[in-house]
Amino acid sequence: MGILLRNVRLLGHDASLYTVRIDGERITAVSRASVPPTAEDDVIDGDAKLALPGFVNAHTHLPMVLMRGLADDVPLEEWLEDYVWPLERKLTPEDVYWGTLLALAEALRGGTVAVADMYFHTDQVARAVEESGMRSVLSYGIIARSMSDGGERELRVTETLAAKWHGAAQGRIAVAVSPHSTYTCGEDVWRACRGLAKERGLGIHTHLSESREEVARVRERTGDSPPQYLERLGVLEVPTVAAHCVHVDEADLALLARRGVVVAHCPKSNAKLGNGLAPIHAMRARGVRVALGTDGAASNNRLDMIEELRAAWLLARGPSEDPRALSAGEAISMATDEGRAGLGLPPAHLKVGDVADVVLLRLDAPHTTPAGDAVSTLAFSSQSSDVTDVFVGGRPLMRKGRLLTIDEERVQSEVVRLLRRHTN
């Protein structure tokens, strides 16, 4: 039995209506002519909605939806040390499981098909991702001053995680090695992470040059900028997703480009925490790959990729006084293609043979009328609630605005119930 999506517009094409056929995991036909269904096919009328391959959130901490709205107005270090970490120490595997499902429900509703996540109790994150039907590169955030001071144990957690989950859920789940940052991991921990990643063929997912303080501290300790420091340790030889990269100089950009590091740009988180804005225009001009991420909901406070791409172009254009600083197409490419590359997913362009990651988005709302160019409408006018249907690997996860793999009402009430234990 296949799926026949009729009367859909395709992102990147003209305004014609197409029929897309999905068999199993893949797209098997794309045609302007009508494609006759077989008797067992599920025929879906797209009502002239826009079909796109879905968004990739290249950097997040899914369970941090549990901290949505916690201390909204303090700087990064104070926020982590006085608010986030004390609550995180209390979180149980059960909290993380339900928190992840809540996050995935929000992400799916906004048309996200894949996420790069970094957290702890990662088995529970994996369990929730597996149930949701989405794709994910999961990692355990390693925090250790040295290998003898907790590092050995932290790396074993990642080894166990990789043995159990790398390639699991029909290949929808992969595992990365995540030394949390240059300021939370010592030099021998970084070297061991690089060794483990190389030995197991895993990528690295980390935070890099997020705040001025981080850069100043690393320079003082090592004489290098954070990217140069990681290069000296051999870390950037491993395929790396580096979140933030706000405070980077010309030499850093050349290095990130040369090593093919994928920067996960998180404009809302950087703006909210008052960390500045990553120079994505300069990055892209120098050949650095830039994907898009929301970061955790505690510093955003949403996991909404359409809102994030809007923040990306607004914040690229305003301060630079350049209306050409980031085009609609470039912003969408960051939220889709570049994220797929960063997560090691196969490209998806709604072509025959591509994996059937397909999102349908209505274009007939008042705020999207008249919908001329679909790329411009999506980047400049759409909102996440315009998403009506999500398919990942050909499997429907949301149909007509209803989630099929996550019981939202139950998830929301569990999260409220569980959080009450920690706040009372």
**Positions in the binding site for Zn ion (CB under 5 A):** 295
CA distance 94 to 242: 29
Please state the closest distance from residue 60 (CB atom) to Zn ion, in A. Answer: 7
CB nearer to Zn ion: pick between 206 and 384: 206
User: Nearer Cβ to Zn ion, position 217 or 399?
Assistant: 217
Q: Give min distance, CB of 66 to Zn ion, in A.
A: 15
Q: How near is the Cβ of 181 to Zn ion at its closest, in Å?
A: 9
The distance of Cα 136 from the centroid of its chain, to the nearest Å, equals: 8
Q: Which is nearer to Zn ion, 295 or 414 (CB)?
A: 295
To Zn ion, the closest distance from the beta carbon of 210 in angstroms equals: 8
User: Pairing relation of β-strands 262-265 and 240-244?
Assistant: parallel
Q: How far is the CB of 77 from Zn ion (least distance, A)?
A: 14
**Close Cβ partners of 224 (under 8 Å, ≥ 6 residues apart):** 218, 232
Query: Do the beta carbons of residue 50 and residue 374 sit within 8 Å?
Result: yes
Q: Give backbone dihedrals phi and psi of 72, rounded to 5 degrees, phi first.
A: -80, -10
- CA geometry: angle 99, 101, 105, nearest 5 deg: 120
Measured from the CB atom, the residue of 208 and 360 that comes closer to Zn ion is 208
Q: Where are the beta strands (DSSP E) in 362-409?
A: 387-392, 395-399, 402-403
| Token duo for residue 218 | 């690393």
Q: At 87, which amino acid appears?
A: L
Collapsing DSSP states into helix, strand and coil, what is residue 199? helix
Side-chain half-sphere CA neighbours of 121 within 13 A: 21
Cβ-based nearer residue to Zn ion, 62 or 378: 62
Q: Which is nearer to Zn ion, 295 or 389 (CB)?
A: 295
Please report how close the Cβ of residue 207 comes to Zn ion at its closest, in angstroms: 5
Residue 273 CB, shortest distance to Zn ion, in Å, is 10
**Residue 264 Cβ, how far from Zn ion at the closest point, in Å?**
8
**Residue 48 near residue 88, CB atoms below 8 Å:** no
Whichever of 154 and 295 has its CB closer to Zn ion, that residue is: 295
* Residue-level length of the chain: 424
Residues near 392 by Cβ (< 8 Å), separated by ≥ 6? Answer: 54, 113, 114, 133, 134, 135, 172, 357
Ranked by CB distance to Zn ion, the top (closest) residue is 295
Nearer to Zn ion by C-beta: 95 or 295?
295
Positive or negative, the CA dihedral 389, 391, 394, 396 is negative
Tokens of residue 326, six digits: 């980031």
